[in-house]
Amino acid sequence: MRLELRDILIKNIQFGDVSEIKNHTLYVNRQDIESLVMEDEHIKEVLIDIARPGEEVRITPVKDVIEPRVKIDSDTGMFPGVISKVRTVGTGKTNVLKGSAVVTSGRIVGFQEGIIDMTGEGAKYTPFSETNNLVLVCHCHDQIKAQDHEKSVRLAGIKVANFIGELSIGLEPDQVAVYETLPLLQNILKYPDLPKVAYVQMLQSQGLLHDTHVYGVDAKNIIPTILYPTELMDGAIMSGNCVSACDKNTTYHHQNNCVVHDLYKKHGTEINFVGVIITNENVYLADKERSSDWTAKLAEFLGVDGVIISQEGFGNPDTDLIMNCKKIEEKGIDTVIITDEYAGRDGASQPLADADEKANAVVTGGNANELVILKPMKKVMGHMEFIDKIAGGFNGNVAEDGTITIELQAIIGATNEIGFNKLSARDY
């Protein structure tokens, strides 16, 4: 598959009489957005706002973040199986509104929904303090089921991102990048002397409100399978889960999976990047065994020399991570795992809930229990009622002046387990 990503740089976002893109500025007509969101009968009201880098704005609780994109050379649409026909993506040309994002918020449901600060200490830990954000605060009707509430709010974000992406049709890109993966046998023949590497991406799927969608199918209902890397880059996977904000993979993360991007940078020179294996994270032991067996089997079937494995979430998924690592290593394939740590606020506790001696090459996204202090913001988009109850919060963590003491766990993307974060290591 060959995919051409055509970046159109968005340097500002404003409200306007007409929804359009001019001179690197995204203009949004409120009525256009409201009409689109209010098509959903479950939503009774939507508050539409803008958050730019450097502004004294806090967005919470954040449900999802989506990058506006559009396919421009085929009848294949974005977000297949959700708002477009179920057609395979990952080929052709896609416009990307780089520097912009749609952020969804609303009444808290899962208590694992986090914070984006556009300035101050919190902004240092989330990549979305650097994007020009169109914020949708959606209020659903009372008595709606939790899963229907979350579905409606997240679908609103997908629909709006798709609408905004379509504004770029006919525009010339500021930069173009081409990514290509040949069919397996051709790929191996083209680079016979390079080590063959695959990426195993674990998708959050552990119970109610822990959903990730693959071509519109809840990942709970899949068995591990193989994707071209460009399918991930082109909207095949969408977020739909409430997990701790720090290591949640939003839809934006899936669209911009940096493991895939980094492997492509070395493809054909240092490694032969042969493809992606997606697998789910399960509740029951039998399901964990089945999925990890299949993941190891597919890695063996591809004939790879090495595998990178990333997880999403923590605690229970640590078992899935270690199972995948151990079983792939037992096939004679080297592994590197990407995770984050819940090592206590002092960093002294066991960082993962499971371990094995074969998991001896680890990349960490940081300690999610580390405490940070967030100063008050002039404006809050969403609401602050549950800031002491979201994952990472605690009773009494909000001072009288509005200052928040909270764990990194509460900040969207702070310790992201595909490495899409701002933390780094240093020697002392």
Would you name the residues annotated as active-site residues? 242
Structure-block tokens of residue 83: 């708002």
Q: Which residue has the tokens 């990514």?
A: 179
Residue 221, classed as helix, strand or coil, is helix
Cβ atoms of 61 and 113 closer than 8 Å? yes
Question: What is the rounded CA–CA span in Å between residue 210 and residue 203?
Answer: 10
Query: Is the alpha carbon torsion for 302, 307, 313, 317 positive or negative?
Result: positive
Angstrom CA distances, 175 to 2, 9, 172, 414, 426, stand at 17, 8, 9, 28, 33
SS3 content of the chain, % helix, strand, coil (to 5): 25, 35, 40
Cis ω before 61 (30° cut-off from 0):
yes
Question: What is the rounded CA–CA span in Å between residue 24 and residue 172?
Answer: 11
